[in-house]
Amino acid sequence: MRINPRFTNKLVQLGLNFQAFFTVGILVIIVAIICFKGLPYVNFEFIFAYPQDMGRLGGIFPSIAGTILLALLSILFATPLGVGTAIFLTEYTKESIFTKIIRFGVESLAGIPSILYGLFGFIFFVIKLKMGWSLLAGVLTITIMILPTIIRTSEEAIKAVPRNLRIVSYSLSATKWETVTKVVLPSAIPGILTGIMLSVGRAVGETAAVIFTMGSSLRLPTSLMDSGRTMAVHFYILAREGISMEKAYGTALVLVVSILLINVLAYYLMNKAISKYS
């Protein structure tokens, strides 16, 4: 029996449409529920006021600040380290047992549950290095946690830059470093940016590793040695301990919106960086 090709085509198209709508649909429903439940409680005061009575009353300003500080500082530490490692792995070494071990290590690290990073951070940074529950301990822990993502995505992005561009660069008497910084990296930036975006998402949404290292105090961290909590932690504690579901949903909404804003801002900054380059 011959199947009508036009019919098959229609069927496949329909199926794929359904899958796409389904995926996007779930996302829309989640965001809609958060908006619906959270919007009534989000106002100027909620964003800029300090929490009172464990978060039952007042706003979430310290946790917004804590989230931004934690994410930005972690990215600031992890990006040069991760991109540097990726450059080393792709441009400055030959494939060998040594690079394979590094790669295997990186991949294994990417698969470790975040709570283990939290435990490590607690034992090493908080206790051993006597940092206490602090922004610094949190930042260092999150840095280690997001490094594998940044290394892997940067490596892929750098590898994807056509080899002939490097050859041309050398033929124009560029050194290896000039080739890497002025030819390879600008072409790889969109890919590297993707890794940074994913990492911001992980840092902002992380709870376990943060509670263990940055603590969960409600104050505004004003130095690297202060403890604090992020929005995700705040949300988790409010909901988990049944303190206030209203405030929890409000926090969730602010969290979602801020992830959106961070993405937009990062794209804007990167575009600016790219156009400055060329």
Partner 1 sequence: MENSVLTVDTFSAFFGDHQVLKDVNLSVPKNVVAALMGPSGCGKTTLIRCVNRMHELLPDTKVAGKMFLNEKDIYTMEPIVLRRKVGMVFQKPNPFPTMSIYDNVIAGYKLNGIRHSREDFNNIVEQSLRSAALWDEVKDFLHRKGTFLSGGQQQRLCIARALAMNPEILLLDEPTSALDPKSTSQIEELFVELKKNVTMLLVTHNIGQAARVSDFTAFIYIGELIEYGPTEKMFTVPKDKRTEEYLTGKFG
Site residues (vs partner 1, CB under 8 A): 94, 162, 164-165, 167-175, 178-179, 182-183, 186-187, 274, 277-278
Closest to partner 1 by CB, 108 or 175: 175
Task: List C-alpha distances in Å: 49 to 9, 58, 67.
Answer: 57, 6, 16
Phi and psi at residue 154, in whole multiples of 5°? -65, -40
Under DSSP, the state recorded for 55 is: G
The 10 Å Cβ neighbour count of residue 128 is 9
Q: How far is the CB of 168 from partner 1 (least distance, A)?
A: 5
**Per DSSP, which regions of 14-67 are E strands?**
51-52, 57-58
Nearest distance from C-beta of residue 264 to partner 1, angstroms: 22
Residue 184: partners with Cβ closer than 8 Å, 6 or more residues away = 91, 158, 161, 165, 166
> Which residue, 184 or 252, is less far from partner 1 as judged by CB?
184
- Residue placing its CB nearer to partner 1 in the complex, 28 or 172: 172
Q: State the Cα–Cα distance between residues 106 and 271, nearest whole angstrom.
A: 28
Q: How far is the CB of 189 from partner 1 (least distance, A)?
A: 8
CB of 103 to partner 1, least distance (A): 21
Closest C-alpha to 141, from 211, 228, 192: 211
Which CB, 132 or 186, lies closer to partner 1?
Answer: 186
149 sits in the region (left: phi over 0; alpha: psi -120 to 50; else beta) called alpha
Q: Which of 267, 199, 270, 258 is nearest to 234 (CA)?
A: 258
Distance in Å, CB of 187 to partner 1, minimum: 5
- What CA–CA distance (Å, rounded) separates 238 from 128? 30
- Quote the least distance from Cβ 87 to partner 1, whole Å: 17
Q: Which is nearer to partner 1, 4 or 275 (CB)?
A: 275
Looking at the Cβ atoms of 183 and 233, the one nearer to partner 1 is: 183
